[in-house]
Each structure stands twice: as C-alpha cells, then as structure tokens.
Structure 1
C-alpha cells in the first residue's frame, strides 16, 4: 500500500540531503504532527513524513506491524528514499523497528521515541478506539460541538485536540481515519509479533524515553539488546509519552546529534 507523504528538502545542496530522514507518527496521529522537525531538519536534509495506513490521507485496511512496515518500505522505494534514517514515535516506533528488522538495508540508522519492542503501551487506547468508533454523529458538527462529543470518552483536552484533527466537520460529519480498522487492529497495535531468534538490526539505534513515561522499562532492555545490539538509550527527564510534542527543543537537539554522529 502506498502511503501519503509530506516531503521537505533543502532549496540547494542536494549532496547534503542524503540519507533522507523519515518520520512515522504514533496512534491517532498524522504526518503533519512532525511539521516542526521537518522544517528544521529539512533545511539541510531531505525529509519525508508519512501518514501510516488508516491515518491521515493514507488508505485504510487491516493493520499489523509487518503490514505497516511493508507499506513504509514500498512507499520509500517508490520515492527513491532508501536507505533512510527512520524516526518513529510510539506505534510509528514499532513500525520503524519492524522495518529495520525486515529490511535492514533500507534503514541507515534508527531512532525510536518512547516505545519498546514488545507488547505493551497505549494504555487506555485499547478501549478508546472502540469507544470512538461507536460515537453517534449528528447531521452537522462544528469544532466546539465536536469537542463536546469527544469529551464523552476523552476527558483530557490535549488528547481531544489530537483527535479533532481526525474528524470531518460541517454537514455529514464523521471520521476521516479508518477508526473501525484501527479498533479491530488494537490487539496487534498493543502487541508485538514473534521475531525469529536470528533476526537483528545491527545499525545505529537510539531509543529516546520520556522520563515521566512508563512505555520503556528495564524489563524491555534484554529484548532491545537482542534485536538492536548497538542501541543506546537517552531520556528527556520532564517529558511524558508525547516527548517530541512536550519537549520539542530537547527532542530536536537529540535528533540533530544523532543525525550528525559519525557511522561506526
């Protein structure tokens, strides 16, 4: 499945733009959520932000991490964007890891934001997707009314603001994302598929954790080491799970240092 892509690149100096940097968003997100980082990194690197399947403007369909990784590989190949530096947050981080394990030659280096290779994470999202899919829509809806409607199942204002980007307002309102496909796929999204024992990604890998998040735990370290033997872990102390949105300057600094680090 070819995915929708937002691309930015330097106005000149094409030689500086390789390898490209690819951003993969988290659950209920979309490519444009990485706009700040695309604008900054796009000054000296070619960047691509992808809407994963069932999100943004990409097609809808059954989802699991191998399938989503193949979507990304097919899309990057079509855009002549491999090998690439892959940056993934949460669900996008699991997709990025799966891409690196299945197509290591397509990944120059890997940054995974606040998620680990294994089952877990996403907290209340497991039931949230089904609750959102069941919401009844009126004949018309403005933004304030949509916020009130979402408040039935999402008490947190910041989470509602994230979800509002996925609604079609006005006459005949509804979801623009594949909410029913996402709800059906939540066991796979929360989970992590079985990986053959011999499978590893030996490229540079950086895990970035939010200090106030519990999505990466010491119990995850052995699997991180097994699958990504050259991984490093950095923490942004005052950040939660949405670390790149909560602490964009700190996350940008870590990302720039990672991009500029010499290859081993």
Structure 2
C-alpha cells in the first residue's frame, strides 16, 4: 500500500493528489490543507518515492495499479489530480479503472512521449556526498556546485533523509526506468468522465499538437492555463491553482 496522508472530514467528497517525479505527498501539504475545507484530501507517495515501497519497476501500469489499490482501500470513487509524472499515472488509472474516478485533473502533462531526460538530476543527487551533510543546506550547496538551480535544490532536498544519510527516492530504479517515465503506453481505451488539463502558460509541456491525442483518450477534456506559471504551476501560483481545482470540481456538468 502506498504511504498516504488524509486531510479534512471523512464525510466530504474525496480528492486524491498525485505528485510528480522526485516529489512526494508532503510537497502538496499546504494545498491539501486549504482544500480540506471542502474535500477529504489524500496525498500519497508513489512507489520509489517518499515512504512508499521500493520496487524494480516504475511503469505507468504499475503506478496506476498502486493508485487503484489505495482508492479501493479508502473508498471509491474519488476525484484524482496528478501533476507531471503523477498526471500520467492518473491518466493511466482513469483509462484502466474509470470506475474508481469521478473527475480527473491533469496538471501540466500530456499522454505523449517527451524528449527531455531527467537523468542529469539523478546524477546530481548521486553526486552529493551524504556523509558530509548535516543539514539540508549542505546538500543544497553541493547540488548548486553540480549545476542545479536554487528552486530545484530546495525541491530535491525535501526528499532527503539527513539523519539517515539517504535519499527517500529509489534513484537506481528511476534511472533504469527513465525511458518509461518519459513515455506513455499505447492504450486502446478511453475515459469518458470529466477531465481538466490544467497547464502553466509559461510551460511547453502541453502544446497545441497534444490536444488531438488528449481528446482521443479523454473526449470530455477541458483545457485551461494559469498565467505566469511554469511546469510547477501549483508552486508558482498556488492560489490560482487551488481556485482552478475548486471551480472544476464544483461546476455542474
């Protein structure tokens, strides 16, 4: 079972939030707490991240099966919101197990293969000498020396267990499965439920040419952009992101 945290009343409609690559449920704590006034919000750690199990695979079919197990345990159906890699996992869940979802929100990702690797960040994290790290700022300094920008230094070190001298990320599996993470499986299914594809106006992850493959799999898809936000739109514009979720989840369809 995936590690998870719940916020809000058990009687409220359920919303599952799925983080992206190198993240964890804790990255979404502030937004989850704010949304918990109206929803039973669940944040989880995907496999090979945070406190969830380490495995040798990281295919989207596996991630979707993990999410299905969690939803069945907590009670279906749920609204599901996934960002980046978590968005692909949420899309795969919706396609494979539409009975478990009410509404789907996909944050700044499309069901397509991407050409940019994330291996440079795995190499940077592997390059940190954890034995010399006594606080997160030590690791951030080393990541900076390895060419990682400040915002990502802070993001990555949220997954650092300083006392245990280890990353809460299975870097070996994530490296081995990077091609699968960047791609998206061919699926001969579709999700006919409500879906919102929410992207950052300053991001190029969801482009005009992606709308056709999105509509093929999610015929009820709606599209929206958050101004002055990039790929990490929930971190760049958290209030606007929250407002977009509330509007979509509460609208009559």
Question: TM-score with structure 2 length normalisation?
Answer: 0.94
Contact 2:7/2:32, CA 8 A, preserved across alignment: yes
Equivalent position of 1:183 in the other structure? 175
Contact 2:121/2:148, CA 8 A, preserved across alignment: no
SS at match of 2:120: helix
Query: Could you report, residue by residue, the CA deviation over 1:13-65 in whole angstroms, capped at 9, with x for unpaired residues?
Result: x2xx12x0000001111101111221122112111111101111111111111
SS at match of 1:71: helix
* 1:127 Cα deviation after fit: 3.2
Equivalent position of 1:25 in the other structure? 19
User: Which one is further off, 153-162 or 134-143?
Assistant: 134-143
Equivalent position of 2:2 in the other structure? 3
Counterpart-to-counterpart distance in 1, 2:226 and 2:114: 20
Equivalent position of 1:150 in the other structure? 143
Contact 1:213/1:240, CA 8 A, preserved across alignment: yes
Equivalent position of 1:42 in the other structure? 36
SS at match of 1:138: helix
Contact 2:124/2:148, CA 8 A, preserved across alignment: no
* 1:107 Cα deviation after fit: 0.8
Counterpart-to-counterpart distance in 2, 1:139 and 1:238: 38
Stretches of structure 2 that go unaligned for 5 or more consecutive residues are none
Equivalent position of 2:121 in the other structure? 128
Stretches of structure 1 that go unaligned for 5 or more consecutive residues are none
Calculate the aligned-residue CA RMSD, in Å: 1.6
Change beyond 3 A, Cα 1:117–1:228:
same
- One of 220, 237, 240 as aligned partner of 1:230: 220
- One of 47, 56, 78 as aligned partner of 1:84: 78
Counterpart-to-counterpart distance in 2, 1:93 and 1:204: 15
Question: TM-score with structure 1 length normalisation?
Answer: 0.90
Change beyond 3 A, Cα 1:203–1:243:
same
SS at match of 2:130: coil
Equivalent position of 2:205 in the other structure? 215
- One of 160, 172, 192 as aligned partner of 1:167: 160
SS at match of 1:151: helix
Counterpart-to-counterpart distance in 1, 2:147 and 2:79: 34
Counterpart-to-counterpart distance in 1, 2:147 and 2:91: 29
Counterpart-to-counterpart distance in 2, 1:100 and 1:140: 41
Contact 1:3/1:50, CA 8 A, preserved across alignment: yes
- One of 79, 87, 92 as aligned partner of 1:93: 87
Number of equivalences? 252
Counterpart-to-counterpart distance in 1, 2:132 and 2:149: 25
